[in-house]
Amino acid sequence: MKKTLIVFLGLLVIVVIGRTSLKLPAVQDKLLEIGTSRIAERGAVPFPKSESLRVYVCGSASPLGMGQAQACIAVITPEHFYLIDSGAGSTDNISRLNLPMSKLDGLLLTHFHSDHIAEIYEVNLNSWVQGRPQPLTIYGPQGVDAVTDAVNAGYRLDRIYRTGHHGEELLPPQLGVLEHETIAPGVVLEDGDLKITAYVGEHPPIHPAVGYRFDYRGRSVVISGDSNVTDETLKIVDGADLLLHDALSLPTVSSLSKALGAAGQSRQSKIVSDVMDYHASAESLIELGEESNVDMVAFYHLVPVPPTSLLKNVFMRGAPDNFLLTEDLMWFELPIDSDEIFVNRP
Ligand SMILES: [Zn+2]
Ligand SMILES: [Zn+2]
């Protein structure tokens, strides 16, 4: 008993001394030196190359977010880096994942709802600051010119301030101005071994809303943006390894809408019930999985993000083993010359 008391008092003294020492400038400076060195070393490590198609979830949420970033997916090969959408919070996740922003080849937008375009400029600024050698091109359906021009106009002064502060050599002004390219359904671009194909989604009244399929050396991923499941979805996933699809939990959303109505929150109830007709329900995606030969289906743009095990189970009701829920910072590795898909969780 006496020995236990002595050990306890010893630990208490260590904790008290430790806490007190954190108030001493000399201790703070030493810890700062160690911490900043670690951050700098991490940033200096080149992004690891591997003979794989890699897919990173930079944003798994819809506007019903619950602490996760909004829609954003990164597709990376040994030679390419494309982002699909840039919702709120996604650039922070890109930094956490240490993705090589100086090598960003383009940002592909699926449509122009705010939860897909909120951080266009953050992506631009981040990649510009990190040394991207050419202007960033924003690809998207009809309307991408107006969105890009508006971002360029809205942040004109920011670009002037940044270049004025850091100098033209570090931040060449012409590299801070976004370019745009309007895409049509079909092959959007072929870049070495990478082919990107756009297909039309169903997300009324937004038209067109598109999704994208990436094919790289025999591996493939489809990213839906916001859409119901349609015949176009069935066609584009044919032979695909991985489908990342926006997904809505009908039991959760209808229960929420009903509860809001009963509580007298009729505006909120209507808004929640309105979203049910333009996102793919988990049930419709399970049917798609049965009708198609896609290997893995990952739900993203979750409506809503399920914060508890119970709600996760409700979301995945009836889903087979090759279905999963994504979360921010999750990533998939599809090695070349293989059928494997490795799922890496944060
Ligand atoms: Zn949308
Ligand atoms: Zn959305």
For residue 174, the model assigns a pLDDT of 98
Quick one: DSSP state of residue 134?
Answer: S
CATH, residue 219: 3.60.15.10
- How far, in Å, from the CA of 71 to the mean position of ligand 2? 7
Does 45 reside within a domain?
A: no
Q: 87: CA distance to ligand 2 center in Å?
A: 8
Give residue 84 CA to ligand 1 midpoint distance, Å. Answer: 13
- Of the candidates 216, 210, 174, the one whose C-alpha atom is nearest the C-alpha of residue 195 is 216
Collapsed DSSP state (helix, strand, coil) of residue 308: coil
| Interval between CA 203 and ligand 1 midpoint (Å) | 7
Max CA distance (Å), the chain: 79
> What integer pLDDT is reported at residue 292 of this predicted model?
96
Residue 63 Cα to ligand 1 midpoint, Å, equals: 9
- HSE-up of 244 (CA within 13 Å, CB side)? 31
Q: Residues 6 or more apart from 300 whose CB is under 8 A from it?
A: 57, 59, 60, 71, 73, 244, 245, 246, 247, 326
Both 169 and 99 in one domain: the answer is yes
Residue 342 phi, psi dihedral angles, 5° rounding: -95, 130
Handedness of CA 200, 243, 96, 89 (dihedral sign): positive
At CA 225, angle to CA 326 and CA 271, rounded to 5? 90
Q: How far is the CA of 324 from the centre of ligand 2 (A)?
A: 19
Beta-carbon contacts of residue 195 (< 8 Å; ≥ 6 apart): 187, 189, 214, 215, 216
Residues 66 and 27 in one domain: no
Ligand 2 center to 117 CA (angstroms):
9
The pLDDT, as a whole number, for residue 1 is: 62
- Alpha-helical (H) ranges within 100-189 are 114-117, 120-129, 144-154, 156-166
Query: Do residues 11 and 128 both lie within one domain?
Result: no
Could you say which ligand is closest to the alpha carbon of residue 248? 2
- Write down the residue that tokens 């810890």 correspond to: 31
Q: With beta carbons less than 8 A apart as the criterion, state whether 128 and 171 touch.
A: yes
In a domain, residue 46? The reply is no
What is the number of the ligand closest to the CA of 300? 2
28 and 94 belong to one structural domain: no
Q: Is residue 84 part of a domain?
A: yes
* pLDDT for res 290: 96
- 122: phi then psi, degrees, rounded to nearest 5: -60, -40
Domain presence at residue 44: no
Distance CA 119, CA 91 (A): 7
C-alpha 54 – ligand 1 centre gap (Å)? 25
Q: Is the dihedral of CA 36, 40, 41, 43 positive or negative?
A: positive
301 Cα: distance to centroid of ligand 1 (angstroms): 9
In this structure, the answer to whether residues 126 and 247 fall within a common structural domain is yes
pLDDT of residue 11: 79
In angstroms, rounded to a whole number, what is the distance separating the alpha carbons of residues 29 and 26? 5
Centre of ligand 1 to C-alpha 238, Å, is 24
* Nearest CA among 167, 93, 96, 163 for reference residue 125: 163
192 burial type by CB count under 10 A (0-12 exposed, 13-18 middle, 19+ buried): exposed
286, 337: one domain: yes
Same domain, 13 and 91: no
Looking at the fold, whether 271 and 327 belong to one and the same domain comes out as: yes
Same domain, 160 and 18: no
What are 82's strand-pairing partners?
A: 75, 106
Number of domains in the chain: 2
Question: Is 47 domain-assigned?
Answer: no
**Do 261 and 199 share a structural domain?**
yes
Inter-residue contact 269 to 261 (CB < 8 Å): yes
- Going from the Cα of 204 to the center of ligand 1, the distance in angstroms, rounded, reads 9
- Residues in the chain predicted with pLDDT less than 70, given as ranges, are 1
Q: Do 57 and 29 fall into the same domain?
A: no
User: Is residue 198 domain-shared with residue 287, that is, in the same domain?
Assistant: yes
Does 213 reside within a domain? yes
Give CB contacts under 8 A, 24+ apart, made by 260-268. Answer: none
Q: pTM here?
A: 0.92
Q: How far apart are the first and last CA of the chain?
A: 43
Phi-psi region of 79 (alpha: psi -120 to 50; beta: other; left: phi over 0): alpha
The ligand minimizing its distance to the Cα of 88 is 2
Question: Is 144 within 8 Å of 116 (Cβ atoms)?
Answer: no
Query: Can you give the residue range of the structural domain that contains 13?
Result: 4-39
Domain assignment present for 20: yes
Instruction: Say if 157 falls within a structural domain.
Output: yes
Would you state the pLDDT for residue 158?
A: 98
